[in-house]
Amino acid sequence: MNIFMTDDKLIFAIPKGRILKELLPLLEACDIVPEDDFFDDKSRKLRFETNQPDLDIIRVRAFDVATMVAYGGAQLGVVGSDVLEEFNYDNLYAPLDLNIGHCRLSIAAPNEIADEALDNQSHIRIATKYPHLTARYFAERGIQAECVKLNGAMEIAPALGMVSHIVDLVSTGSTLKANNLREVSTLVDISSRLVVNRQAMKTRQVRMQGFINALQQSLANS
Give yes or no for residue 2 binding other proteins (CB under 8 A). yes
Strand ranges (DSSP E) for 89-211? 92-97, 103-110, 123-128, 144-149, 165-170, 181-190, 192-197
Least distance CB 5 / other proteins (angstroms): 8
Burial classification of residue 30, based on how many CB atoms lie within 10 Å of its CB (0-12 exposed, 13-18 middle, 19 or more buried): middle
Confirm or reject binding of residue 171 to other proteins (CB under 8 A).
no
CB 129 within 8 A of CB 87: no
Q: What is the CA radius of gyration of the chain?
A: 20
In contact, 38 and 57? CB cutoff 8 Å: yes
One of 10, 27, 92, 145 touching other proteins (CB under 8 A): 92
Q: x-or-dash pattern for other proteins, window 200-219, by CB under 8 A?
A: -xxxxxx--x--xx--x---
Q: Any contact of residue 30 with other proteins (CB under 8 A)? A: no
Stretch that binds other proteins, among 37-45, 95-103, 128-136, 163-171 (CB under 8 A): 95-103
> What sign does the CA torsion over 60, 47, 76, 214 have?
negative
Q: Which of residues 58-77 bind other proteins (CB under 8 A)?
A: 70-72
Interface with other proteins by CB under 8 A: which residues?
2-4, 7, 70-72, 89-97, 193, 196-199, 201-206, 209, 212-213, 216
